[in-house]
Structure 1
């Protein structure tokens, strides 16, 4: 159920013009956005305007503990979710959101995205294997809830993260399965949404997401990161190939990058690309290691940056696809900082 050419042109022009000024303080409120005809065909048919923000959560995400070969623990620890939960409860966000348990069956979708060898290797991990599948289930549950109109948008508090998970048969950058990648394809295949926008604001480049869709004209991938950091794959010269040429956008930000540095790139790079692409669904790889004082990052983003990025991502979704947006936790290793940024993100999602 696509818009007519005239409507699509109007919508793209409006998104381009209205998205200007992201780096400033005067963002347009959601009510100022309009869309002549909402994009995206759904197997369930048209839906009315949904309301509410879903929160995917499961205590089993705490069971996964990553141990290094030397016996030490890297900073991707269960306490990340514990501290997030504490902050959400303290602000009443647990009650303000719609509780979503990860119920979607992930196996077939994981197998369609990853090689049999990779899947078999991860499934051999006694505790982590099932929890990694549960993380994918959480992401798919978020897609289900938004696509069917149960909620307007959703945040998936899942772990382990996923945007570094290729097909090596092992953990990569704390990741096992490509949560966002599997979710993007699921939105297309299960619900018929043609074009998916994936925004990755993690401090580290989302290399697995890039690799999954590098030649795919149906997915626009934007990653703003420190190219010098792990996994050192975010070369801005990599813009996609074949039919996907121009739809892979890597933005390098220097160590010490500020709110304005990040948001300026949304202005000059992401917003025009979104206007031209005209997505039917928005997915955010929400890594909060791009926040100031993170253990593995060196950006200086404040919680206000995450509020503003969230608001603009919502504006993209409002203008193009009836508000459909699902975000999922990626990195973020300063326990207090990650919790504060996550709460700011969810508070903004609730604004609609």
Structure 2
């Protein structure tokens, strides 16, 4: 059974008239209630991350700035990134949820988890918030998997329409966290060219698949399948983490690569195949972008239902 992490507290991060708004999760929750997904999963709430957990990835000055900005009523950290009085608490809980999901998945062979959290994380740098993101949830999860569970090969797959520049930057010279990103190019934030492959000990552990607007859906899927299979063979991961952004959907108002909802089932299957091949199915996904409320809700439901169906198939096969 899939572990689903969700909590109404994530809607307390108020952003005003902004694409990354509480209504995103409200829309997803309504869709999952209508499709009865909550009844098909083990549902968990959230817990705040310990500061030391966050500091594995972020600087003390960054953590202090997030805390101070919330205490003073919120405000803008950059032209895109907004905080309210509750934002620091919500961001700590998003990071804590990431850590808790990793602990759950690594505690039982084959277990998988989906984390419906906000604010998103993949643009957040070690010392700076950016692009709607306060703490880099998936980077914190990867660092925790290494520090608390002794892993030395973690694969992050990012299919958000925007390049996960924060995640790439944090692990660019690391050598133990592999980063694969498929994204629209050229596009915000301007990083993610094919020549960005890592440096030092991390040389070869970053794989960018930049795709131009107008690519056909079939070409998109084929490109991802081929590149991810090759990169996963090199990484041989002990855990797979997915930055599951849904703003490559054709209806998205600030992204789009022309994908339809069902294309996220294909992406989910590809990442699940990697997890099954190399690490007994261990996979955790984290909500990133997706700003058309209906398309986001349908796409998250598609992602989750694909994992549920595949988990049932695997359980049935194992019992025969």
Residue pair 1:53, 1:151 contacting (<8 A) in 2 also: no
Which is worse superposed, 197-206 or 267-276?
A: 267-276
Extract unaligned runs of 5+ from structure 2: 71-84, 312-320
Q: Could you tell me which residue of structure 1 aligns to residue 11 of structure 2?
A: 62
Distance 1:149 1:222 in 2: 25
**Partner residue of 1:321?**
279
1:248 pairs, out of 196, 206, 215, with: 206
**2:180 corresponds to 1:227:** no
Aligned to 2:58, which of 105, 108, 114?
A: 114
Tell me the CA shift for residue 108 of structure 1: 1.1
Aligned pairs, how many?
Answer: 295
- 1:106 and 1:286 mapped to 2: Cα distance? 24
Matched, 1:76 2:20: yes
Change (3 A) 1:253 1:319: same
Question: For 1:191, which of 149, 152, 161 is the aligned residue?
Answer: 149
Question: Among residues 118, 140, 157, which one is paired with 1:182 in the alignment?
Answer: 140
Deviations 1:105-161 (A, max 9, x none): 332111121111111000121311111111101111111111112971010000000
Alpha-carbon distance between aligned partners in 2 of 1:277 and 1:56, rounded to the nearest angstrom: 27
Do the aligned partners of 1:296 and 1:333 also contact (CA within 8 Å) in 2? yes
Q: Whole-Å Cα distance in 2 between the matches of residues 264 and 329 of structure 1?
A: 23
Contact in 2 for aligned 1:100/1:141 (Cα 8 Å): no
- CA deviation map 1:305-326 (0-9, x unaligned): 1101111211111111111000
Q: Deviations over 1:164-191 (max 9, x none)?
A: 011454x411000000001011111111
230, 241, 254: which one pairs with 1:296? 254
Mapping 1:148-187, distance limit 5 Å: 148-149=107-108, 152-169=111-128, 171-187=129-145
- Equivalent residue for 1:90, pick from 29, 34, 50: 34
Q: How far is the alpha carbon of 1:193 from its aligned partner?
A: 1.9
Give the TM-score normalised by structure 2. Answer: 0.89
Aligned: 1:211 with 2:148: no
Instruction: Go from structure 1 to structure 2 and tell me whether the alpha carbon gap of 1:53 and 1:111 turns closer, same or farther (over 3 Å shift).
Output: same
Q: Which residue of 1 aligns with 2:245?
A: 287
Q: CA deviation at 1:270?
A: 1.5
Whether the aligned pair in 2 keeps the contact of 1:56 and 1:141 (CA below 8 Å) is: no
Greater shift, 105-114 or 231-240, is seen at 105-114
Q: Which runs of 5+ in 1 are unaligned?
A: 1-51, 68-72
Residue 45 of structure 1 is matched in structure 2 by none
Q: CA deviation at 1:104?
A: 6.0
Alpha-carbon contact 2:225-2:270 (below 8 Å) kept: no
Is 1:259 aligned to 2:203, yes or no?
no
Given that residues 57 and 126 in structure 2 are in contact (C-alpha distance below 8 angstroms), is that contact kept between their aligned partners in structure 1? Answer: no
Higher relative contact order, structure no. (Cα contacts within 8 Å, ≥ 6 residues apart): 1
Give distance in 1, aligned partners of 2:224 and 2:54: 31
CA RMSD of aligned residues (A): 1.4
